[in-house]
């Protein structure tokens, strides 16, 4: 079964740009050797989780106080705030600017981004099928596509390019080998840098496998 057919079936509310990317993506997936059933199943499970069923284009920064408290308790972004209370207080700013200040802080000064004052953390926040994040990643993926993602970050979402960063990240991270072992946690650690959302990724994997009649 084609990736496009699975995407269309399992993500009925999928964005047209994503579906168009999959419709034209067979050659790319074959090039990256995402062409065996388990490999495709794991790839799609990660993509569908990260994009919430192909509906999310740009990382949301509308964190609530509870969201930020949970992040602190999971030891995420702690180094950017003096205390749990200071991190939770950022929720008020998120209501005002949608997370611009938050992302400028927590993504600033790393991944090729300038410091918080440059706004790079916000400009190069997560976009696309596997949430390409950071100026370095935008530059690298843009080079693969022959497009200037640094100057125009939203090009990551263009149907001509949308699948390329996801497939490249997958291949560069050696995810095919982990998928061959049916090792969801190993794949997730490459894609996510940890295991955030593992339960959701597992549910997507089950759905994709069922649709593909795998095991």
Walk along the chain (215 residues) and give the pLDDT tens digit of each residue.
899 999 999 999 999 999 999 999 999 999 999 999 999 999 999 999 999 999 999 999 999 999 999 999 989 999 999 999 999 999 999 999 999 999 999 999 999 999 999 999 999 999 999 889 999 999 999 998 899 999 999 999 999 999 998 998 899 899 999 999 999 999 999 988 888 899 999 999 999 999 999 97
Assess contact for 29 and 18: CB atoms under 8 A. no
Give the Cα separation of 26 and 42 in Å (integer).
Answer: 16
Q: What is the CA radius of gyration of the chain?
A: 17
Residue 52, pLDDT score: 95
Query: According to the model, what pLDDT value does residue 42 have?
Result: 97
Does any domain span residue 101?
yes
Under 8 Å between Cβ of 178 and 38: no
Q: Specify if 19 maps to a domain.
A: yes
CA dist., res. 115 & res. 113, Å (int): 7
Total count of residues recorded for the chain: 215
Contact 45, 204 (CB under 8 A): yes
Residue 84 CB neighbours (<10 A): 14
Give the chain's domain count: 2
**Do residue 203 and residue 159 come from a single domain?**
yes
Q: What is the pLDDT of residue 201?
A: 97
Residue 108 domain-assigned (yes or no): yes
Say which CATH number the domain at 34 has: 1.10.530.10
What pLDDT does 105 receive? 97
β-partners of residue 127 are 58, 132
In angstroms, rounded to a whole number, what is the distance separating the alpha carbons of residues 156 and 164? 9
Please give the pLDDT value at position 47.
Answer: 96
Cα separation of 37 and 54, whole Å?
A: 20
Is the Cβ–Cβ distance between 106 and 121 less than 8 Å?
Answer: yes
- Residue 32 to residue 47: CA distance in whole angstroms: 15
- The predicted pLDDT at position 196 comes to 84
SS3 of residue 44 by DSSP: helix
- Would 18 be classed as within a structural domain? yes
Looking at the fold, whether 50 and 72 belong to one and the same domain comes out as no
Q: Which domain holds residue 76?
A: 65-123
Task: Please give the pLDDT value at position 167.
Answer: 92
Residue 112: closest CA among 124, 101, 95, 128: 124
pLDDT of residue 26: 96
Supply the pTM of this predicted model. Answer: 0.88
Q: CA 100, CA 102: separation in Å to the nearest integer? A: 6
Q: List, in sequence order, every residue forming a beta bridge with 58; answer none if it has no partner.
A: 127
């Amino acid at each position: 079964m084609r990736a496009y057919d699975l995407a269309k079936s399992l993500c009925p509310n999928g964005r047209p740009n994503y579906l168009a990317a999959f419709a034209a993506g067979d050659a790319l997936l074959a090039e990256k050797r995402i062409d065996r059933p388990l490999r495709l199943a794991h790839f799609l499970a990660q993509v569908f989780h990260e994009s919430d069923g192909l509906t999310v284009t740009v990382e949301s920064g509308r964190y609530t106080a509870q969201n930020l408290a949970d992040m602190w308790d999971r030891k995420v972004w702690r180094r950017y705030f003096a205390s749990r209370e200071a991190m939770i207080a950022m929720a008020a700013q998120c209501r005002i600017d949608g997370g611009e200040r938050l992302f400028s802080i927590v993504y600033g000064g790393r991944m090729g981004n300038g410091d918080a004052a440059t706004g790079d953390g916000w400009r190069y926040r997560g976009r696309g099928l596997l949430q390409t994040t950071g100026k370095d990643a935008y530059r690298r993926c843009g080079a693969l596509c022959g497009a200037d993602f640094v100057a125009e970050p939203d090009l990551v979402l263009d149907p001509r390019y949308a699948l390329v960063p996801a497939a490249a990240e997958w291949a560069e991270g050696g995810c095919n080998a982990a998928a061959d072992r049916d090792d969801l946690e190993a794949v997730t650690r490459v894609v996510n840098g940890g295991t955030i959302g593992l339960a959701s990724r597992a549910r997507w994997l089950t759905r994709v496998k069922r649709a593909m009649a795998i095991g």
